Amino acid sequence: MVFKDNREFIEALEKAGELVTIEQEVDWDLEAGAIVRKVCEEKAPSPLMNKIKDYPGHRYLGAPLTSHRKLALAMGLDPDSSIPEIAAEYLKRTNRSPVEPVLIEKEQAPCKENIIIGPEADLFSLPGPMVHDGDGGRYLCTWHFVVTKDPDNGDVNWGMYRQMVYDHKTMTGPLLPFSDGGKVFHGKYKPRGEAMPFATVIGPDPLSAVAASAPSPIPETKFTGMLMEQPVELVKCETVDLEVPAHAEIVIEGEILPDVSLEEGPFGEYTGYRTSPRDLRTVYRVKAITYRNDPITTISNMGVPTDEGQLLRSFTLGLEMDKLLRNQGIPITGVYMLPESTHHLVVVGVKAIYTNIATQIAQAVFGSKLGPWFHMVLVVDDKTDIYNVDEIIHALCTRCHPINGIHVYQGVGTPLYPFLSAAERKKSVGPKVLFDCTFPLDWDPFSEVPSLVSFKNVYPKEIQDKVLNNWEKYGFKPR
Ligand SMILES: Cc1cc2nc3c(=O)[nH]c(=O)nc-3n(C[C@H](O)[C@H](O)[C@H](O)COP(=O)(O)O)c2cc1C
């Protein structure tokens, strides 16, 4: 099952018991944000808010992808699929050949049901929510993506870069220089003094959003097709030379200005804190707005776990690192990033067949393009279940030597790490740490390596099977 738009996905969420429809009026000024925040913290169903104060005809969908159940649904899987099952499906689909998008006619594209160009295209005509108390303004774009194009080779990029409404025609936001969109803007358009055309897509289908927030090197138009297992349908923009998903709810077109910056923030961030102060950031000038009838603005409310940025970025970052390490021929058994770590902790399972293999892993992942987004790597042996938090904590606390097993590195960070000083954040410095939770290879396996006392380690297979097969007969709940 592939959802070509968010509306079909909303139906699937409802069928799976993952949607709550709110018919009473909700205020865009903090109330909607507070509902979404509570949903994140309670791991509750996604709220569809059908009536927004001051904005008749507009709707909100909050927290669309805040759990692995919702992610499984988005991928057309059984919502009860386990995390390793969803991960295996992601790897299967994204290890195939890229799937080219198709261009459809404007008349067939729902996002063109309403077209407003020029002076009438007013950002305050859209219900940008005041997401958190203390935010620097109304964040219209929290679950969306920005489409841009490289001026030299025409490569298209979709990236999720937050945008705050500054005035009727202007949005501002951080376009970090190590993001793909940021590299093209800061490295090409800005030095040439040229404006960069952009299109912001609000309320995309769920897999386009997954692709836009994923750190894959494959262009997102093709990567979405791989995730969907069919081409994504695009349509041309009205005022800029870009294409956008035809079934999106709202599209904002315009230009990113090369010679001016305006204040943005602060904003509640994915780390669960508000770390970056109000500062001068990238400026988006609006030329046109197109939207579906009764448009649904998507809201992500970043804060303490679990929001969709934490969940999806942990999921996709982990799996892209899995590909990277396997491509280097390192004998890993898997990679998992805990969403609760706000994608700061990478857990890697490995068959430790040579000395310093954990160091090699840490250097590979910290030194990769993905490195700035995390600062902790924890390496465990191939018998540890990387998805089991109990086993990970146990490995950390019993197998990591405080002097020999902890290694500190200097790397690239983001301006958002809460543990950095304000001065360090400004420079995006990135202190990194490896926790090597493998026992040294030169220890004798019988006399020196302590043996693990666990159900799966100390009982013969036939006893384990007997106990598991009789589990419910003994009177326990099904596992
Ligand atoms: C909800 C959300 C908001 C984000 N906001 C920003 C942002 O404001 N600036 C930024 O550079 N990256 C931001 N990111 C991270 C990028 O989306 C992420 O790095 C993504 O891979 C960008 O695509 P790119 O690799 O094509 O640049 C955000 C991610 C999420 C999930």
**Mean pLDDT value across residues 106-120:** 98
Using CB atoms within 10 Å of the CB of residue 297, give its burial: 0 to 12 exposed, 13 to 18 middle, 19+ buried: buried
Q: How far is the CA of 25 from the centre of ligand 1 (A)?
A: 31
Phi, psi of 21 (to 5 degrees): -95, 125
Domain with CATH 3.40.1670.10 in the chain: 328-458
pLDDT at 178: 84
**Mean pLDDT value across residues 57-64:** 98
CA distances from 126 to 93, 164, 283, 403 (A): 36, 12, 18, 55
Stretch among 311-320, 321-330, 418-427 having the lowest mean pLDDT: 418-427
What tokens does 75 get?
């991928």
**What is the tens place of the pLDDT at every residue in 244-262?**
999 999 999 999 999 999 9
Q: Is the pLDDT of residue 469 over 90?
A: yes
Query: What value, to the nearest 5°, has the Cα angle with vertex 11 and ends 303 and 54?
Result: 60
Q: Is 189 in the pocket of ligand 1 (CB under 6 A)?
A: no
Q: Is 176 in the pocket of ligand 1 (CB under 6 A)?
A: yes
Q: Is the pLDDT of residue 276 over 90?
A: no
Q: Is 66 in the pocket of ligand 1 (CB under 6 A)?
A: no
Q: Is the dihedral of CA 211, 215, 218, 219 positive or negative?
A: positive
**Mean pLDDT value across residues 111-131:** 98
Mean pLDDT of the chain: 97
CB 193 within 8 A of CB 256: no
Query: From the alpha carbon of 157, which atom of ligand 1 is closest?
Result: 26
Which residue's CA lies nearest to atom 18 of ligand 1?
213
Percent of the chain beyond pLDDT 90?
A: 98
pTM: 0.96
Q: Report the residue among 148, 213, 320 best suited for mutation to probe ligand 1: largest number of ligand atoms under 8 A from its CB.
A: 213
Q: Is 150 in the pocket of ligand 1 (CB under 6 A)?
A: no
pLDDT at 1: 86
Query: From the alpha carbon of 302, which atom of ligand 1 is closest?
Result: 1
Q: How far is the CA of 89 from the centre of ligand 1 (A)?
A: 23
Q: What is the DSSP secondary-structure string of 304-352? A: SS--HHHHHHHHHHHHHHHHHHHHTT--EEEEEE-GGGTT-EEEEEE--
What tokens does 277 get?
């102060």
**Mean pLDDT value across residues 199-220:** 97
Which residue's CA lies nearest to atom 16 of ligand 1?
160
Q: How far is the CA of 313 from the centre of ligand 1 (A)?
A: 9
- Architecture per CATH, 6-299: Roll (2.30)
Q: Is the pLDDT of residue 454 over 90?
A: yes
Distance of CA 194 to the CA centre of its chain: 30
Which residue's CA lies nearest to atom 23 of ligand 1?
159
Q: How far is the CA of 203 from the centre of ligand 1 (A)?
A: 16
pLDDT at 399: 98
Nearest to 298 by CA among 110, 61, 129: 61
Domain with CATH 2.30.110.10 in the chain: 6-299
Fold that domain 328-458 belongs to in CATH: UbiD C-terminal domain-like (3.40.1670)
pLDDT at 439: 97
**Mean pLDDT value across residues 289-307:** 98
Percent of the chain beyond pLDDT 70?
A: 100
Query: From the alpha carbon of 160, which atom of ligand 1 is closest?
Result: 17
**Mean pLDDT value across residues 434-442:** 97
8-state DSSP, 45:
P
pLDDT at 360: 98
Q: Report the residue among 160, 164, 337, 412 best suited for mutation to probe ligand 1: largest number of ligand atoms under 8 A from its CB.
A: 160
Which residue's CA lies nearest to atom 17 of ligand 1?
160
Are β-strands 144-149 and 156-159 bridged in parallel, bridged antiparallel, or unpaired? antiparallel
Task: Report helix, strand or coil for 85.
Answer: helix
CB 160 within 8 A of CB 147: no
pLDDT at 9: 98
Which residue's CA lies nearest to atom 5 of ligand 1?
161
Q: Is the pLDDT of residue 479 over 90?
A: no
Q: Report the residue among 156, 157, 161 best suited for mutation to probe ligand 1: largest number of ligand atoms under 8 A from its CB.
A: 161
**What is the tens place of the pLDDT at every residue in 365-416?**
999 999 999 999 999 999 999 999 999 999 999 999 999 999 999 999 999 9
Q: How far is the CA of 5 from the centre of ligand 1 (A)?
A: 21
Query: From the alpha carbon of 373, which atom of ligand 1 is closest?
Result: 19
Q: Is 224 in the pocket of ligand 1 (CB under 6 A)?
A: no
Q: How far is the CA of 161 from the centre of ligand 1 (A)?
A: 5
**What is the tens place of the pLDDT at every residue in 333-374?**
999 999 999 999 999 999 999 999 999 999 999 999 999 999
**Mean pLDDT value across residues 429-437:** 97
